[in-house]
């Protein structure tokens, strides 16, 4: 089935089978609702770039709204914790004893303020709080853009389960990891960059330098989630 959604201010089409919605998505939301009876629940939706995390989070938010017996689910993106573009433009990252401008690796773990993310998540355990959003029109962060105030906060991002210093400090109550074949992710990421205006050669170069290593990092160095789903070539999700 095809669903029309708004994701970070842009219209997006999602395709999920009725079986996936009924046998995976609705049961997940019911489990989360049971866990959230007497507390706020923070849920991580993690996985490599191009597995459709933002779209899935937005869909789960809408699906929960259509299930009146459930508490409200709010989808939040980790991308709001990118460093501001002014910082990214003036800093560098050390890779293999080489200093690389951070702007060439935007989207890599080093381009995120993970300590600020950890602090905000802890704050949300005790009270509502503002949440930053990454504005894809400005290619920059919009601080305190939304208020995180739902009983269930569904946070999506590439590195939420990354098994690395500081990232391990991120705490959640439940986690879902979405995986996919590397070749499929490569195709999707190159196509995404070309839709953004790059030539194929430029998109393939960016994949080799940034997107490809980020995919490998997520697939090979993420902590185990409470459950794992696999994306197929049509963009549908199956329980692994």
Output the pTM of the full model: 0.93
Whether 239 maps to a domain, the answer reads: no
- 142, β-bridge pairs: 133
Does residue 90 lie in a domain region? no
- Domain hosting 120: range is 2-81+114-124+146-232
User: CB count, 10 Å around CB of 124?
Assistant: 19
Number of separate domains in the chain = 1
| 9, part of any domain | yes
Picking from 202, 239, 240, the residue whose alpha carbon sits closest to that of residue 24 is: 239
Contact 75, 131 (CB under 8 A): no
Is residue 206 packed enough to be buried (19+ CB in 10 Å), middle (13-18) or exposed (0-12)?
buried
In a domain, 60, yes or no: yes
Per-residue pLDDT tens digits of the chain, which is 240 residues long: 666 666 666 667 778 899 999 999 999 999 999 999 889 999 999 999 999 999 999 999 999 999 999 999 999 999 999 999 999 999 999 888 899 999 988 999 999 999 999 999 999 999 999 999 998 888 899 999 999 999 999 999 999 999 999 999 999 999 999 999 999 999 999 998 998 889 999 999 989 988 999 999 999 999 999 999 999 988 888 876
Residue 200 has a pLDDT of 95
With respect to residue 11, please indicate whether it lies within any of the assigned structural domains: yes
Provide the CATH number for the domain around residue 40: 3.40.50.300
Measure the CA–CA gap between 240 and 237, rounded to whole angstroms: 9
228's tokens: 């794992």
Query: In this structure, is residue 186 part of a structural domain?
Result: yes
Residues in the chain: 240
| Residue 103, in any domain of the structure | no
CB-based contact 139:78 (threshold 8 Å): no
User: Which one-letter DSSP state was computed for residue 209?
Assistant: I
Three-state DSSP at 67 gives coil
Q: Is residue 139 part of a domain?
A: no
Measured over the CA atoms of residue 153, residue 158, residue 162 and residue 167, the dihedral's sign is negative
Query: Residue 151, SS3?
Result: coil
- At 180 the three-state DSSP class reads coil
């Amino acid at each position: 089935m095809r669903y029309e959604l708004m994701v970070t201010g842009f219209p997006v089409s999602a395709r999920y089978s009725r079986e996936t919605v009924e046998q995976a998505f609705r049961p997940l939301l019911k489990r989360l609702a049971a866990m959230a009876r007497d507390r706020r629940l923070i849920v991580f939706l993690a996985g490599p770039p191009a597995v459709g995390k933002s779209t899935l989070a937005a869909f789960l938010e809408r699906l929960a709204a259509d299930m009146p017996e459930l508490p409200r689910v709010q989808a939040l993106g980790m991308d709001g914790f990118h460093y501001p573009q002014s910082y990214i433009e003036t800093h560098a990252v050390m890779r293999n004893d080489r200093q690389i401008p951070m702007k060439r690796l935007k989207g890599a773990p080093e381009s995120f303020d993970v300590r600020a993310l950890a602090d905000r998540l802890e704050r949300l355990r005790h009270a509502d709080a503002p949440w930053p959003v990454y504005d894809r029109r400005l290619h920059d962060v919009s601080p305190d853009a939304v208020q995180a105030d739902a009983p269930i906060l569904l946070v999506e991002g590439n590195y939420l389960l990354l098994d690395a210093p500081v990232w391990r400090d991120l705490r959640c109550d439940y986690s879902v990891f979405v995986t996919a074949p590397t070749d499929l992710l490569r195709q999707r990421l190159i196509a995404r960059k070309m839709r953004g205006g790059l030539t194929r050669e430029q998109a393939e170069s960016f994949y080799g330098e940034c997107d490809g290593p980020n995919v490998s990092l997520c697939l090979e160095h993420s902590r185990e989630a409470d459950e794992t789903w696999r994306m197929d070539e049509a963009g549908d999700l199956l329980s692994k």
